[in-house]
Structure 1
Amino acid sequence: MTDLVAIGHELNDGVGDAVARIILLALAQSANLVFRSIHGSVLENDTIYVKLSLTQFVPHFMWGGMEPDHGGCMLFHMSIAAHDPQHVAEVIAEFWGGEALAFPPVSENGWIALANDERCTALEVFPIDTVLREAEGDADAYGEATGLVGFTATHAAIATALTQRQVMAIAVREGWPAKYRNRGGMFGVIEIWIEGRQMIEVLTPDMQAEYKSTMSAANWRAMLNAAGAAAALS
């Protein structure tokens, strides 16, 4: 795998850092490169030294921990509905160590929880009776109030840096039902029912490792084949 190392000019006020990151992301995506580290003038074996001609200086910075995207597959954001969108968005942001902001494009009183991670992960939270509708012509989809409230098939599994004890404490504070569950002997989750109606699975670092080690297409196919073989013998 090729490392991409960028050398820039260090600015005391940090101006240009965001620009540098955007440019480096574009370079990496267009050249199918993977970031190992970006750090001043430190060069490792098999790296490429890249000089950028910019209208703005690029400061020194380090950015590590980005994993290969394997084709760019990623769930960037999704949406759910809640009785109190602002509060639910704030609690989700708390799990992530991010922040919650108003999100008016789709519906009034819409909110969004932002993880502030390198993938720009987000969860939009709309008023409880909102459904998404297709807009005719050159217009974006919009939210429509239906007056209907109920359970939903939609759920999400999200990662957190918090411990199981900390996650459970937040659920207890909110009055949201929560319990640890092991999904099929494959990986653990903290099953939380937001406002008593919307399920979300929160995975601590240990649970995330379990998930990543089991939830592959190959493993899932093997499990289905094993289940089919067992059914055939019964």
Structure 2
Amino acid sequence: MLHHFSMTAENPSRVARVLAEVLHGTVAPFPPHPGSFMAIALDDHGTMIEVYPAETELMPGFGAEAVTFSSNAFASPFTATHVALSVPASQEEIERIAAREGWRIVRCDRDGFFDVLEFWVENKLLIELLPPKMATKYVEFMQPENLAKLFAAPSEPVAELAIA
């Protein structure tokens, strides 16, 4: 169960407000890191998205210290990290929000298994949104018995990696 994740944005307040709208939730400041905000779903799972200023990087603490916030003015605006989220908003509602914000939105078929809405926050960060109808198909696909069929043993054995 994914409870929260963090991301960066050029305009953290605006992005958090938009994400809270898609989640049918609320937005609040994120006190541990000034200039950051939280989009809070107000659901039974505690779903939240922390949105930090674009130059923010998380770094491991030293010894027993927790995570530390760092700033990198030359951070890339792109990342391979993305998330898929079930949301209460409909596809039409999400498309209206994306159009209003000027953000890329496209419905994508994932190899016939399920569909997602690619919602590109600030046209830089991918969040795959699953409105209720899409979420149902995704959850059905991800059930262990269905994955077992998909990833059935290959006809030829796979060589094991030797770790030196």
Please indicate the TM-score interval, normalised by the length of the shorter structure: 0.7 to 0.9
Whole-angstrom CA distance in 2 between matches of 1:133 and 1:94: 30
Please tell me whether residue 123 in structure 1 is matched to residue 65 in structure 2.
no
Q: Which residue of 2 aligns with 1:79?
A: 6
Distance 1:125 1:221 in 2: 36
* 1:1-234 correspondence runs (5 A): 74-105=1-32, 107-147=33-73, 148-225=75-152, 228-229=154-155
What letter is aligned with 2:150?
M
C-alpha distance in structure 2 between counterparts of 1:109 and 1:217, whole Å: 41
When the two structures are superposed, what TM-score results if normalisation uses the length of structure 2?
0.87
Root-mean-square deviation (CA), in Å?
A: 1.8
Q: Which moved more, 1:86-95 or 1:145-154?
A: 145-154
The amino acid across from 1:156 in the alignment is: V
What is the distance in 1 between the residues matched to 2:28 and 2:65? 23
3-state SS, counterpart of residue 151 of structure 2: helix
* Identical amino acids, percent of aligned pairs: 35
Deviation at 1:175, TM superposition (A): 0.4
When Rg is computed on C-alpha atoms for both structures, the one with the higher figure is: 1
3-state SS of the aligned residue for 1:210?
A: helix
Listed one character per residue, the Cα deviations across residues 162-191 of structure 1 (whole Å, up to 9, x for unaligned) are 221111010010000111011121111111
Structure with greater strand percent = 2
1:50-105 per-position Cα deviation (integer Å, ceiling 9, x unaligned): xxxxxxxxxxxxxxxxxxxxxxxx21111111111111111111011100111031
**Residue in structure 2 matched with residue 49 of structure 1 by the alignment:** none
Query: TM-score by structure 1 length?
Result: 0.62
> How much has 1:222 moved relative to structure 2?
2.3
SS of 1:225's partner is coil
**Superposed displacement of residue 229, structure 1:** 4.6
